[in-house]
Structure 1
């Protein structure tokens, strides 16, 4: 009986892993080509996107080094952000995979046609297929990434927001 126990435990672990792998979602949602917008409709709020990089060639890795000091409650997010970008076999598609420890926002830009794609909160480890409209220039895109949690924090503490809060407090009195 004792000799069978490690085998049974290993079998249960293996079967559980196999089931989780089959049922798990291995990819982030695909981004359709209709998600691309012209820069004239670009909303504000993307100011915290950092380090635009040219994405061309077969595979490109974009790594942004560790962040500058931020509040302690967000200190676990200080590691580097890393994204892998790869053109797909089809010329109108590309892949992005978040290799960071936390979710990221990213923006792809076509500098010639002035179109962009903004995607909020790509989870770590999941590759994502992106369709590129046929009228956009092929072979050159710019990629920018940001941490959505840090953006949220910076917007909450914006000086205009603080002024509005003070004004509301005065109005209540």
Structure 2
């Protein structure tokens, strides 16, 4: 009797043992290393800097003295609105106010190089969040500006289509 029961339930037991949990990975929670920006170059400004991952916690934006910050929950080299920010001094993003439409920006990592073309540059109040909330596939760069940093200067660039 026990043998007959085991024989009857073995296929069911075997199925449960070999059943694998389905794992769903979406683009929203997976950024591959080859999609992360590692350096920025703006030829017209003679600017070349490392890019480091950064985050925001309790309205405290992580920022570096020796690198450009990449908001890690924003877009990447593959898609989305990639947000880069840095201090407003001449060795970092202080010169981005000189960028105009058509200026070239190059983002790189060890696997790829991606070119962007500036489509807009403007100053807003530090309360305006719409440039960083955009969902389009683009690059958004910004730095503090104005007396006592009451403003933000934004540069918006779109990817250059590869031929």
TM-score by length of 1: 0.28
TM-score under structure 2 length normalisation:
0.29
Higher relative contact order (CA 8 A, sep 6+): 1
Structure with greater proportional helix content:
1
Greater share of strand? 2
Q: Which of these two proteins has the greater Rg computed from alpha carbons? A: 2
